[in-house]
Structure 1
Amino acid sequence: MAQASVTDTADGELELGPVKVEDRYQGEGVNSYTVRQTQSSTGLALSPRQTPQSVTTITRQQMEDRQIANIEQALEITPGITASKSEVGGRTAYRARGYAISNWKVDGLQFPGGTDFSGAGSSLNMDLYERIDILRGANGLLGGTGDPSATVNLIRKRPTETFGGSAYLTYGSWDKTRTGADLNLPLTEDGRLRSRFVVTQQEGNSFRDHQSDRARGALANFEFDLSDATTLGAGYQYEYNKVVGGGWGANIPIWYGDGSKTDLSRSTNLVPSWSYGEHETQTVFASLEHRFNEDWRLNVQAAQSTTDAVSHYGLAKVNQFSRGTYTGYPNQDGTGTVLNGIHMSTDTTQQSAQFDLSGAFEALGRRHEVMFGYNDSRTVGWSPQYDCTLSSTTLSRSTSGSCQFRANNGLPVSNWYNGVDDDMYLTATKTGLHSKTTTRLQGLYAATRLSITDPLSVILGVRTSDYSSKTIGNTGARTTQTESGVVTPYVGAVYDLSDNYSLYASYTDIFTPQSQETVSGSRVEPIVGKSYETGIKGEWFNGRLNAQLAYFRTQQDKKAVTDGANLTPTGAQAYVAGTGTETDGIDLEVAGALTPNWNVYGGYTYLHFRRLDSDGRSDPSHLFKLSTTYRMPAPLERLTMGAGVNAQSNIRALSSPAGQPSNGVSNSSTDVNWSGYAIWNAMAKYEISDKTDLSLNVNNLFDKTYYTRYGFYAGAIYGDPRNLAVTLRTTF
């Protein structure tokens, strides 16, 4: 788009003022399921076809079509990504290519986005973000940690120079309501100072007994053009999530105490009314962009995120009674279960900064691109120590220091058919002691895209990283881990077969520090390995439709695995460095517009384990996801219909460390079959006017019963039954 001003001169001639050109991609933004460029792989602005790795984008339009509110729902529709839950409303491991995702970013900066007891992932609110880039495979060049699974990079909503906004109201199954408003407000007439404000709130119940949730989010983002070449940005972001009725562990027992299978309803949830998990994240951020000329620019970014997390969980479940012995299985007469409990809180602050200088240069008669950068992240986590009491009117159990109640010190439930006894409570009091962990990751990196010939380009990159971690325990004991000068190379090549097709290949090293502790309290040594990928990519309709077929192979060594029943000095599960995992497979993906009215997004992944050393497999061999929307032709042009499916094959999993019991006791793990499933969804949207539309979304259309976890401490977690949501949205 071009904008210009026209004025009358003194002699009556017309004078054309400065022309401002904005490159707005026709397929990006409104009604788009793909993007023109992404920097999430190498730091260079490349189209999906010119990026020598598998890169996926969840656009704003996709999030609105599917009514996506949080990171779990976003990754649920992402090709190649699976989720494995440890409990309801608590820890969720998102996985790709056989490995857990641990590399999270916002606007390219490291972010504590893990969905666990202390991470900020549980509070991530998608109303505050414009899109999500997911890079599958290792990304050691920019992140420093070569996570072999994927890197998730969330892109915030930014202000623009024109006034506008939107608002919506959603009501759905189990009395779920969600409201949101998004306002883009120029603060000066010419738009040089501009702002964007987003607010959102959600409340609702669940298909599970005693469960409800609440979420809030807010964003204030400002930008100021100091000159035609320099832009300054700053903002504040707030995200909050609370789940009442979540538990500590999988909430459905797989076996009765006699070893026979259970068949409990999806609403079963053996938690007390006081069980909850709560996450609150506040972020301040700033940026500076300077354009030296058409080719060279400098980007500087900084952010600080503070996450307060509280876990106050109770659940009647199976757990360790003594070393290697597990009890707490339900009996069919209502006896057998034991209320477990845990209380912990964390205060995590992460400070991140990044400097990038990128541009183009001429050499040997050809134009090339180059990027230099430095990033630094520092994370400080505080965990207070608690004295806790789990009590009823007749019994009382206490712990000092480690506030965890298992099968050996929990409270027996009178009759689990009636739920947890109403008189059972967990109280926690701070002792005044705390532990502190300080982690720092910094590195220098550079990459260049060399145009060797017209069809061939080569990307070369290298990073050198320094990592340090220091923990001071409650007793004052100190443990440290330091890795200096770790070199991570990156090599990629793209060969254009035609205007529409390209062959590509890439290689990078893997280096990932680990936070798990050994029996001595020291950290498990870092993961190392290698990641390879090659394939073919296609691009049609001026980039509005992209597709790829990839073969990948990843070797990961020294991944932490549980050290039997051994514990750390603080009483947590101990780990050792395993022999590692090696996987390979195929990724197939398509995203974009087949016609101006027909969008499609989906993919298929085949995963093969060449070598496996872990605590139980959580990945299907076959994973298929597909979503599509179609705007009907006249006279029904105001109606858009959509459908989709998420399907995965069965998983030969492991119920670990507790397995199938005999006489109410288990002493080892048990192989289990995590059944495959296909979950269908549908949507319809009708434009009441040019500014307002009404949509209906149906998830799990055929009400399939399936599990989002199967075989964790002899427990399972049901997926959502069929649910509906109606949304009224308007723009202005």
Structure 2
Amino acid sequence: MACLLGALALPAGAAELDLPAQPLDQAVTELARQTGLTIGGDASLLRGHRAPALSGDYAPLDALRRLLAGTPVTFRVTGDDSVILERGNTLEAVEVNGQTETDGLAPVYGYVARQSVTATKSNVAIKETPQSVSVVTREQIENQNAQTLDQALAYTPGVQSLTGGANGTTSDGLQIRGFNVTGASPFYLNGAKLARNTFSATAEPYGMERIELLRGPASILYGAAAPGGVVNMVTKLPTQEPLREIRLQGGSHDRRQLAADFSGPLTDDGRFAYRVTGLTRDSDTMVDHVPDDRDFLQGALAWQSTDATRLTVFANYQKNDTAYVYGLPFSGTVESNPNGRIDRDRFTGEPGFNEFVSESYTLGYLFSHRLNDTWTVRQNALYFAADTDYVDIGVGGYAADQRTVSRSPYPREDDNHSWSLDNQLEGVFDLGRTRHTLLFGADYNEQSFARAQYSGTVAPLDLYAPVYGSPVVLSATPARSYKTDNQQLGFYAQDHIKVDDRWVILLGGRYDRFDSEQRDRLTGDRATTYDDSDFTGRAGLVYLFDNGWAPYLSYSQSFEPVNGTAGADYDPTEGEQYEAGLRYAPDDQDLSVTLSVYDLTQRNVLTTDPAGGPQIQEGEVRARGAELEARAQLTNGLSLIAGYAYTNAETTKSNNGNEGNEPGAVPEHSASLWADYRFGGALSNLNLGAGARYIGSTYDLGNTVRVPDHTVYDALLGYWLDDWRLALNVRNLTDEDAITCTYLCFYGQERTYTATVTYRW
């Protein structure tokens, strides 16, 4: 490849370049800006490498060749002034039948990802996937300074935080396409099920390389799953090139944070590589007496024992010290109150009593072995454990003065353990005019969750003039104590068929066997149980045009087990989605646009029995909508992320009197736009970013309170100075008084400033 490139004619004309020594991705970006050379392909290949200084007159291709010298990255000329980056042969990425196994787990340069393992569990291009997929890249997380999972997904269409971000430090509660995806079903780590309770742990974005969202039913590959979709978080994994980073942050609410990230080979032959990532934070929050302290440590070790065999072991530890924000009444937030508006920083608990301390651990591995030119076996495993002390005080109704609320303490202790194992056999082969990526799998997961919850009494609180210090009296024994054990075993098969490099057919089916038992630890009685099985499937069709357009159609199913009462035998809820879409992703541009429309229905939802018996499964919830997402990395230094979602969700069948109601906190219209501009010439070290997030009006859970729409603006000012990067992020630039309401109301984050100093060498 190097000899071939050397023989190629260079584009006419030379440019006077002045490029300092810097990370390779930054150098290539600046080269494109200064020369007008269009550089496409998988730009994530550049991440983790350093570029030498380059000064003087150079033809564009000659300059690019000098920047890439000594790295496993080459390029292919596709036009008079355009090239595509390509990967050479390295131990970091083993190629199987022309596909790179690690592409779906690798870093992505910029905002545009072309590969995803989440949608198919294979390294199939997103363009060839007949279902909507979004990938939040490392660069987006850094530029927007995302500190929680909902902040990382804030510019992703169709995704909403359950509490407007108020409780991002205690849970990763999300709604996707109008459905709640909180809990043990929807979250995955490096492709393995992360079976955890809602309040067992939260994601740490600094430890993530990318966050992938597959919208709609996904039980074909993942078993029990919410109909709205699944979220797969890909952690930072070892690199072959040395990577060293130290980051210091400070900002609003006395925020102080120190983070570090180190990676590289351990041996001269590169067979062993490591990565260690850590973070410690001491911070307050917008709400009085609620801290946001965290300790996080993550490590990974990769062993390329042969060219065909790779094992990566990863683990992390995280401790959160914060408090749950219970919420505030409708009156005084979204509704008028004779006493005025409740302050955004109002704390409804008792200082020194309320706390939320969780310690969690994960340990897992990714194993792959290429049997021959056709078949590859993979095994992914993950173990998770967490202990949580959740000490909180709930808020009741107002007294006659419309300012004093009743309160009730409910401290609880949670213990969560789970493990999952996913075995895969993949074959990639040609058969006549078709190319098949055939996947067979068997996965198993167990989860054990135990809770002991206490009750007690505490004095009411005046929300307009609070006086703290009231004694909290707790029961000597738990008011409730139970333990739940879940098991699930699934078998799945999928075939991705490419016909004449034009048509793509995706077919898959899955059979699951699952059971659960919950026991009352106070009485020893079996509280609830289920033992059932289900079959789900998916079918899709894509047509690939030469110019980058790719229309698609798909049908997919999901299921979720139902926890009922003792003696009740419930079927799982069933999700069913029809989706049509149109993608535009030209091979020679860092550009991706997806327009999708869908009809998503969940059946077998529990509702009241008119005859007065236990609940029956006659309920139904439906969401119909459209989503548009555009991501672009333009050669003039401008990068864009744009999104829009129309979500028409409602309860279509119910005996509870709520038929026709909308889900709480789900806007019918939402939109976002983020623009990031890297200057050229004398200002080449400067970049500016700005974003806007619009959330349309919503209802609370009971559909009794209408919450007004709002728009929040964010901003970034960044500057590179050799190995240093300085950044200032502002969230909610105009200090918008945004509110989200579910069972109560939650204020959105007030205007916050964060200054970041990063040193990479």
TM over 0.5: yes
SS of equivalent residue, structure 2 residue 648: strand
Q: Which runs of 5+ in 2 are unaligned?
A: 1-44, 46-68, 73-87, 94-99
Shift of 1:483: 4.5
Q: Deviations over 1:94-151 (max 9, x none)?
A: 111110114110011111355x33x32xx32111111100011111111112421121
Letter in 2 for 1:529: G
Residue of structure 2 aligned with 1:250, choices 313, 321, 327: 327
Aligned CA distance change for structure 1 residues 429 and 688 (closer, same or farther; 3 Å)? farther
CA distance in 2 between counterparts of 1:582 and 1:416 reads: 38
Could you say which residue in structure 1 is the equivalent of 2:10? none
CA distance in 1 between counterparts of 2:547 and 2:214 reads: 24
Could you say which residue in structure 1 is the equivalent of 2:173? 93
Could you say which residue in structure 1 is the equivalent of 2:385? 306
Shift of 1:727: 0.2
Residue of structure 1 aligned with 2:643, choices 591, 603, 616: 603
Could you say which residue in structure 2 is the equivalent of 1:477? 525
CA distance in 1 between counterparts of 2:649 and 2:339 reads: 29
CA distance in 1 between counterparts of 2:292 and 2:387 reads: 17
Could you say which residue in structure 2 is the equivalent of 1:65? 143
Q: Deviations over 1:155-187 (max 9, x none)?
A: 111112222221101101111112110000422
Could you say which residue in structure 1 is the equivalent of 2:450? 382
Residue of structure 1 aligned with 2:316, choices 237, 245, 261: 237
Could you say which residue in structure 2 is the equivalent of 1:269? 347
CA distance in 1 between counterparts of 2:409 and 2:268 reads: 58
Q: Deviations over 1:492-544 (max 9, x none)?
A: 110123331011011112211134x44x5858642113111111101035362
Could you say which residue in structure 1 is the equivalent of 2:133? 55
Matches within 5 A, 1:466-505: 466-474=513-521, 475-479=523-527, 481-505=529-553
Aligned CA distance change for structure 1 residues 154 and 523 (closer, same or farther; 3 Å)? farther
Shift of 1:455: 1.5
Could you say which residue in structure 2 is the equivalent of 1:451? 498
CA distance in 2 between counterparts of 1:705 and 1:36 reads: 37
CA distance in 1 between counterparts of 2:413 and 2:606 reads: 24
Letter in 2 for 1:486: D
Q: Deviations over 1:330-381 (max 9, x none)?
A: 725x5x4222211111111011001111121222243221111111110011
Could you say which residue in structure 2 is the equivalent of 1:512? 560
Letter in 1 for 2:631: A
Letter in 2 for 1:617: G
Aligned CA distance change for structure 1 residues 476 and 451 (closer, same or farther; 3 Å)? same
Aligned CA distance change for structure 1 residues 432 and 551 (closer, same or farther; 3 Å)? closer
CA distance in 2 between counterparts of 1:433 and 1:651 reads: 34
Residue of structure 1 aligned with 2:736, choices 704, 718, 725: 704
Q: Percent identity?
A: 23
- 1:107 is the counterpart of 2:187: no
CA distance in 1 between counterparts of 2:292 and 2:195 reads: 22
CA distance in 1 between counterparts of 2:134 and 2:261 reads: 25
SS of equivalent residue, structure 1 residue 221: strand
Aligned CA distance change for structure 1 residues 90 and 282 (closer, same or farther; 3 Å)? closer
SS of equivalent residue, structure 2 residue 675: strand
CA distance in 2 between counterparts of 1:720 and 1:4 reads: 43
Shift of 1:432: 12
Could you say which residue in structure 2 is the equivalent of 1:9? none
CA distance in 2 between counterparts of 1:506 and 1:207 reads: 44
Q: Deviations over 1:653-690 (max 9, x none)?
A: 35x4xxxxxxxxxxxxx71111111101010100122x
Could you say which residue in structure 2 is the equivalent of 1:371? 439
Q: Do 1:48 and 1:546's aligned partners in 2 also have CA atoms closer than 8 Å?
A: no
Aligned CA distance change for structure 1 residues 511 and 703 (closer, same or farther; 3 Å)? same
Aligned CA distance change for structure 1 residues 561 and 345 (closer, same or farther; 3 Å)? farther
Q: Deviations over 1:550-603 (max 9, x none)?
A: 111111113346999x9x9xxxxx976451111111010012313262211121
Shift of 1:255: 5.4
Q: Do 1:685 and 1:694's aligned partners in 2 also have CA atoms closer than 8 Å?
A: yes
Letter in 2 for 1:35: A
Q: Do 2:420 and 2:444's aligned partners in 1 also have CA atoms closer than 8 Å?
A: yes
Could you say which residue in structure 2 is the equivalent of 1:571? none
Aligned CA distance change for structure 1 residues 692 and 483 (closer, same or farther; 3 Å)? same
Q: Deviations over 1:186-210 (max 9, x none)?
A: 2212121111101101121122222
Could you say which residue in structure 1 is the equivalent of 2:454? 403
CA distance in 2 between counterparts of 1:610 and 1:433 reads: 33
Residue of structure 1 aligned with 2:746, choices 708, 713, 717: 717
SS of equivalent residue, structure 2 residue 173: strand
Q: Which runs of 5+ in 1 are unaligned?
A: 6-17, 319-326, 385-401, 569-573, 657-669
Aligned CA distance change for structure 1 residues 551 and 30 (closer, same or farther; 3 Å)? closer
Matches within 5 A, 1:316-715: 317-318=395-396, 327-329=397-399, 331=401, 336-384=404-452, 403-405=454-456, 410-413=457-460, 415-427=462-474, 434-474=481-521, 475-479=523-527, 481-515=529-563, 517-518=564-565, 520=566, 525-542=571-588, 544-560=590-606, 577=617, 579-595=619-635, 597-609=637-649, 611-612=651-652, 616-654=663-701, 656=702, 671-689=704-722, 691-707=723-739, 709-712=740-743, 715=744
Q: Do 1:524 and 1:575's aligned partners in 2 also have CA atoms closer than 8 Å?
A: no
Could you say which residue in structure 2 is the equivalent of 1:387? none
Q: Which moved more, 1:72-81 or 1:125-134?
A: 72-81
Aligned CA distance change for structure 1 residues 542 and 272 (closer, same or farther; 3 Å)? same
CA distance in 1 between counterparts of 2:133 and 2:205 reads: 19
CA distance in 1 between counterparts of 2:279 and 2:608 reads: 40
Letter in 2 for 1:699: R
Q: Do 1:253 and 1:262's aligned partners in 2 also have CA atoms closer than 8 Å?
A: no
Q: Deviations over 1:411-452 (max 9, x none)?
A: 333655442531322546566995221101120111111223
Q: Do 1:27 and 1:35's aligned partners in 2 also have CA atoms closer than 8 Å?
A: no
SS of equivalent residue, structure 1 residue 580: strand
SS of equivalent residue, structure 2 residue 241: coil
Could you say which residue in structure 2 is the equivalent of 1:727? 756
Aligned CA distance change for structure 1 residues 262 and 204 (closer, same or farther; 3 Å)? same
Aligned CA distance change for structure 1 residues 430 and 563 (closer, same or farther; 3 Å)? farther
> Please, what TM-score do these two structures have when normalized by structure 1?
0.83
SS of equivalent residue, structure 1 residue 64: helix
Could you say which residue in structure 1 is the equivalent of 2:257? 178
Letter in 2 for 1:254: S
Matches within 5 A, 1:277-292: 277-292=356-371
CA distance in 2 between counterparts of 1:688 and 1:652 reads: 48
Could you say which residue in structure 1 is the equivalent of 2:34? none
Could you say which residue in structure 2 is the equivalent of 1:166? 245
Aligned CA distance change for structure 1 residues 524 and 724 (closer, same or farther; 3 Å)? farther
CA distance in 1 between counterparts of 2:686 and 2:716 reads: 11
CA distance in 1 between counterparts of 2:203 and 2:501 reads: 43
Q: Do 1:339 and 1:420's aligned partners in 2 also have CA atoms closer than 8 Å?
A: no
SS of equivalent residue, structure 2 residue 220: helix
Aligned CA distance change for structure 1 residues 105 and 28 (closer, same or farther; 3 Å)? closer
> Please, what TM-score do these two structures have when normalized by structure 2?
0.80
Aligned-residue Cα RMSD (Å) equals: 3.1
CA distance in 1 between counterparts of 2:339 and 2:700 reads: 16
SS of equivalent residue, structure 2 residue 342: coil
CA distance in 1 between counterparts of 2:560 and 2:120 reads: 18
Shift of 1:301: 1.3
Q: Do 2:664 and 2:742's aligned partners in 1 also have CA atoms closer than 8 Å?
A: no
SS of equivalent residue, structure 2 residue 113: coil
For this pair of structures, how many residues does the alignment match? Answer: 655
